[in-house]
Amino acid sequence: MGYLDNTTVTVDAVLTKKGRERLSQGRGAFTITKFAVSDDEIDYSLYNTAHPLGSAYYGSLIESMPIIEAVPDETQVMRYKLVSLPRETNQIPIINIGVSSVELTFGRSDGAVIAPKTTAGGVQEFDLSSFGYTAILYDGDAASLLIESPVTVTGVTPTLPAGTLTSAAVTRVGLQFKIVPKKVSTTRSTKLTIFGNESGATVTIPITINPEPVL
């Protein structure tokens, strides 16, 4: 890892393995249609509203920080993506799904509907009906993750966490989801994570799946 001299405006692009593969196939195969930006290297605690030289210098330390070179390792970069929010938004959006946990019993429940809503300060609600949410159920052997209400556009790319998901994980993109318990021999504990594809907000709750009771 290195740092770029911030005295000039620099665009430093490093292709991933897939990017190099597409580039080798010719310009027609290498067409950028979407991109994301992040501010992983910025320490906002350095914003000093008590600077003795006035407001023009509040962010001087941040502006003088070196910028990290592009790194094609998704586990190390792009953890804090920048998003576009409606004007007059003065609080960071959060996702509210109405429950703090879900417990289901096979044979006794037809499932639980998860209906995310994105708000700011618990008051201002955002209309995110275009790109919706990404839901990740980390143990697809314990329950099924269904799309209860789909997004209104096609080709929405799921928002995935840094690192690699296990083969048991299930990912869906939609507006509302349904968790349906599967037949298990013992109680299974897992997690459900909801990402806002437009807001960048996220929430994770525990999921418990119980086996069918013995009568």
Domains (range + CATH), the chain: 1-82 (no CATH), 93-210 (2.60.40.1080)
Instruction: Match 């919706």 to its residue by tokens.
Output: 132
Q: How confident is the model at residue 121 (pLDDT cuts 50, 70, 90)?
A: low
Look at residue 187 in the predicted model and tell me its pLDDT: 96
By the 8 A CB rule, do 201 and 118 touch?
Answer: yes
Q: Residue 36 region, left (φ>0) first, then alpha (ψ -120 to 50), else beta? A: beta
Closest CA to 110 of 180, 30, 62, 43: 180
Query: Both tokens of residue 204?
Result: 């994770």
Express each pLDDT in 74-95 by its tens digit. 666 766 777 777 677 777 788 9
31-42 average pLDDT score: 78
Q: Which amino acid is at 31?
A: T
